[in-house]
Amino acid sequence: MIPSLLFGVLLMTVPSSNGVPVACMMEYEDGGAPAVFGYPECPERVFPPAGYLKNQTLNCQFAILQGRRDYQEDVIACNLDFKVPLLGAGKNGLEEEAVGVVAVFDGHGGKEGSEIASKLLFDYFYLHVLFQSYKVMAHHNGVLSSSDYKSFQLEILKEALSRTIRDIDFSFSQEAIKNNFLSGSTATVVLLYDRQILVANVGDSKALLLSEKIQSALGTEGDSTEHLSATALTYDHHPDREDERARIEAAGGSVITWGVPRVNGVLAMSRSIGDVYLRRYGVIAEPEYTGWRPLTANDTHLAVASDGIFESLTQQDIGNLIFQWNSHFQTSEDSEMPWSCLSSTSLAECIVNTAYEKGSHDNLSVIIVPLTPTSVL
């Protein structure tokens, strides 16, 4: 957003950088969140408050199942009411704003990558939102019109998420080198703010948007049926995707099919957190984004899931299950809901159990977010 040297000069124009020492701000610019957390001159107020609940899932509906694997490597992180110090008109130019954060980390080669990613997500994101807000204020000499706030807020949140994923990869990669970890993880992270949604994706976990659709019945006049249509918000990073293959081969790697296409015959994805031994062969942790998009009145649910769900279910299967669940429990209509759902205690559990019963062999995890005006940001 702002080059380092220019940022340092701009900081001098905002008194005490809103109470944060310039040395701390420069440490952030040079080393990101990991540097700030290890820098003694950064005051406590730049960090999440003591006792702050960061990995809260009580306000999120989720289900996770080890399935037919010998170990569990999926980890979720979700908080639909995560309070961050975001650019605003409040004290010191910041306001406490609630942002929904929904993430699935699907580990491979060990659980270290997904576990560390989930533990760092909220701490790093909080800090990046704070410092990116300060940077915008410094760039504008602390003077912003009220009409500027919304566009800057969305830009800040996206930049904060991008830097969060980068720093998670850096921190885990350092641990992997030190401890000889060969593991890695996907990272699919969704932000919900001001009735808008942003998705960042690394790897092959998925985010789906479910929306109400009215379809006319064939051969009838005036009759119509309602269903939920599933729209993918992510694009899988498989090594045989044309652009991904080109990067891998340009770096000296190869795409070899061993069951599925794999980087050097090993990794079944071309982007991931960690996997440090494949970095030289074009595997990167840079996310792809579905840019900020407004939610409409027809958008009913967000689903974020590991790829194990999609071993046995299609994207539209998810939409059908959600529609059948709602029809069965919220209306008097009959439904063809499978037994795996009738015996489930939640919609998320219904999806996980159905994927398992239909034959998935992978770990299974899903987070379901209802997108009603009263239940999402």
**Predicted pLDDT at 6:** 44
Query: Which residues, including other chains, have CB under 8 Å from residue 11's CB and lie 6 or more apart?
Result: 17, 22, 25, 26, 138
**Predicted pLDDT at 297:** 93
**Predicted pLDDT at 329:** 75
**Predicted pLDDT at 58:** 62
**Predicted pLDDT at 53:** 63
Write down the pTM of the prediction: 0.90
Q: Outline where DSSP puts E strands in the chain.
A: 61-65, 74-87, 94-108, 184-185, 187-193, 196-202, 206-216, 224-232, 255-258, 260-263, 273-274, 288-294, 299-305, 364-370
Cα–Cα distance, 306 to 29 (Å, whole number) = 33
Q: Domains, the chain, ranges and CATH?
A: 29-58+73-205+229-299 (3.60.40.10)
3-state secondary structure of 217: coil
**Predicted pLDDT at 16:** 45
**Predicted pLDDT at 332:** 55
**Predicted pLDDT at 223:** 55
Closest CA to 201 of 253, 238, 248: 238
Mean pLDDT of each 10-residue bin along the chain, 377 residues long: 47 50 90 93 86 68 96 96 86 86 97 96 96 85 69 95 98 97 97 96 98 69 71 97 98 96 97 97 97 94 97 96 86 70 92 96 97 67
Closest CA to 287 of 190, 166, 197, 205: 166
AA identity, residue 83: K
**Predicted pLDDT at 10:** 43
Give the sign of the dihedral formed by CA 174, CA 179, CA 181, CA 184.
negative
Cα–Cα distance, 359 to 169 (Å, whole number) = 32
